[in-house]
């Protein structure tokens, strides 16, 4: 197959028997559920654009493993150009969906696991890389969506995994059998887990010798026995239950998170990619984080493009589009957004080949990219709210707009400039609300802060990669200091 269509993707999810809960009820049909379908639609776009001749070269790559064109989300990066194309693809998808399209974590995970398993095998003579290549070919042939699962619930963050009062706060091995392992724990903040075919689990922190049972990486189907998905709440999420209304802001697309429980899940031997080699847990975490922090220089920029456009339209509809202060705010939004894109491209263009043959981003620049992402989208959102005005959050509902009694009042008093209806003005206001405060804010504002690690995680990596000692030597040479 190698490339699925959008409809084939949807039908492939219907065949899965996932255990999903939301609002205290088991969801029997997640594919068509009104609160979950917009998030599925966002993933569906990644399949549809790969079938589109206009975007084919950006959305696909030639596999070195199955000798077919594959979706770029299942690609192993083989050049700096691959890394650059990834960022450009992510910006495009952000522009098309104005939401999280959910496949980035899996793409970043397979690239991190690819190189790390190679180096574990080199050190210990294990067969993790062989296992992973077999798995990778399966994923590429089937064009599967992978949920990359790294973030543990962590419990007491002052303690390492093996010293937690509750050992399940970090996912760990509870039984080793001749045919595989049994794991228990949970992964939090799992973006798009209910829209995925597979879950690829990785450790979440560097580990010491006592954490051997926690140093584990593996992949299993999302409907494996023992996996339970609990959908997270989002601001304004129940508006989706009202149908595709103006009030949702973006009724077609969205993102969704899940707390994913692993209740004694069995993993066969050929799906294990790390099993107790604690010294490689940190490498895997660092490499995944580098790739995923690069990703934010693409996806968040694409969503930012939509928010900037919506803000400019809101200004026009309000009759303020020509005001100098509005123009200046839009310029600032563009400046911040393009700076993020520059960072994403820079860490990609400076990428280097690993021992395994795939390309790794420049880690310092990737962490600088994500550090900027923890700040700039917040300022972009603030400026958008400033330009939009208070009606963004106080406007009447679409039901009131359609009401025969109060609707005419809304048409009259919610109107801006002549030639633009109250309905269109409300639509753009609700889109800005969705992107800055509503369900899409999870994938824009809050995810900009905490996705791929909190701001402090990037600062730690910047300190490690900044090479201050070399900079000191540069200063000594210029100053003529001889020690």
Known catalytic residues?
100, 104, 191, 257, 292, 296, 299, 447
Look-up: residue for tokens 């809960």? 21
**Contact, 314 vs 388, CB < 8 A?**
yes
**Biggest CA pair distance of the chain:** 86
Strand blocks (E) in 188-223: 198-201, 216-221
Indicate the burial class of 157 (C-beta count within 10 angstroms; 0-12, 13-18, 19 or more): exposed
Distance, CA of 2 to CA of 11 (rounded, Å): 16
User: What DSSP state is assigned to residue 151?
Assistant: -
Token pair listed for 200: 């690829």
3-state SS, one letter per residue, for 246-261: HHHCCCCCCCCCEEEE
**Contact, 258 vs 190, CB < 8 A?**
yes
* Nearest by Cα to 219 from 150, 277, 276: 150
Contacts of 335 (CB under 8 A, 6+ apart): none
Q: With the C-alpha atoms ordered 339, 429, 40, 22, is the resulting torsion angle positive or negative? A: positive
**Contact, 58 vs 88, CB < 8 A?**
yes
Whole-angstrom Cα Rg for the chain: 23
Task: Reduce the DSSP state of residue 450 to 3 states and report it.
Answer: helix
Residue 191 annotated as binding? yes
Token pair listed for 266: 């069995």
φ, ψ dihedrals at 79, nearest 5°: -165, 165
Instruction: Cite the annotated binding site for FAD by residue number.
Output: 191
Instruction: Cite the annotated binding site by residue number.
Output: 191
């Amino acid at each position: 197959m190698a490339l699925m269509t959008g409809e084939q993707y949807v039908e492939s999810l219907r065949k899965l028997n996932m255990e999903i809960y939301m609002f205290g009820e088991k969801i029997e049909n997640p594919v068509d559920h009104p609160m979950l379908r917009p998030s599925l639609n966002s993933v569906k776009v990644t399949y549809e654009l790969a079938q589109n001749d206009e975007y084919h070269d950006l959305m696909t790559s030639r596999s070195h493993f199955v000798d077919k064109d594959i979706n770029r989300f299942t690609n192993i990066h083989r050049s700096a150009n691959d890394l650059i194309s990834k960022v450009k693809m992510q910006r495009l998808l952000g522009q098309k969906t104005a939401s999280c399209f959910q496949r980035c974590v899996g793409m970043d995970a397979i690239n991190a696991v690819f190189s790390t398993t190679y180096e574990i095998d080199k050190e210990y003579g294990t067969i993790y890389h062989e296992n992973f290549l077999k798995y990778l070919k399966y994923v590429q042939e089937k064009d599967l969506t992978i949920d990359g699962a790294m973030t543990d619930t962590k419990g007491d963050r002052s303690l390492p995994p093996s010293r937690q009062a509750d050992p399940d706060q970090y996912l760990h091995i509870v039984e080793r059998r001749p045919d595989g392992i049994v794991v228990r724990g949970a992964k939090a903040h799992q973006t798009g887990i209910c829209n995925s075919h597979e879950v690829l689990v990785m450790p979440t922190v560097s580990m010491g010798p006592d954490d051997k049972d926690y140093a584990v990486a593996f992949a299993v189907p999302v409907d494996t026995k023992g996996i339970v998905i609990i959908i997270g709440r989002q601001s304004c999420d129940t508006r989706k239950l009202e149908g595709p209304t103006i009030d949702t802001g973006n009724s077609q697309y969205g993102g969704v998170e899940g707390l994913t429980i692993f209740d004694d899940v069995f993993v066969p031997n050929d799906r294990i990619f790390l099993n107790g080699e604690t010294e490689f847990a940190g490498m895997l975490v660092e490499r995944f984080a580098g790739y995923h922090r690069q990703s934010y220089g693409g996806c968040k920029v694409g969503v930012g493009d939509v928010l900037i456009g919506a803000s400019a339209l809101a200004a026009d509809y309000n009759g303020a589009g020509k005001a100098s202060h509005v123009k200046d705010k839009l310029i600032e939004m563009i400046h911040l957004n393009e700076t993020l894109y520059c960072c994403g491209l820079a860490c990609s263009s400076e990428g280097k080949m690993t021992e395994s043959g795939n390309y790794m981003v420049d880690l310092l620049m990737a962490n600088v990219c994500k550090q900027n992402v923890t700040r700039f989208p917040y300022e972009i959102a603030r400026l958008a709210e400033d330009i939009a005005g208070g009606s963004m959050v106080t406007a009447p509902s679409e039901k009131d707009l359609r009401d025969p009694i109060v609707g005419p009042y809304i048409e009259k008093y919610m109107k801006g400039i002549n030639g633009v209806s109250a309905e269109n003005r409300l639509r753009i206001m609700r889109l800005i609300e969705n992107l800055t405060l509503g369900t899409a804010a999870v994938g824009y504002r809050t995810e900009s802060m905490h996705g791929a690690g909190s701001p402090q995680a990037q600062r730690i990596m910047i300190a490690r990669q900044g090479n201050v000692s070399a900079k000191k030597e540069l200063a000594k040479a210029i100053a003529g200091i001889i020690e």
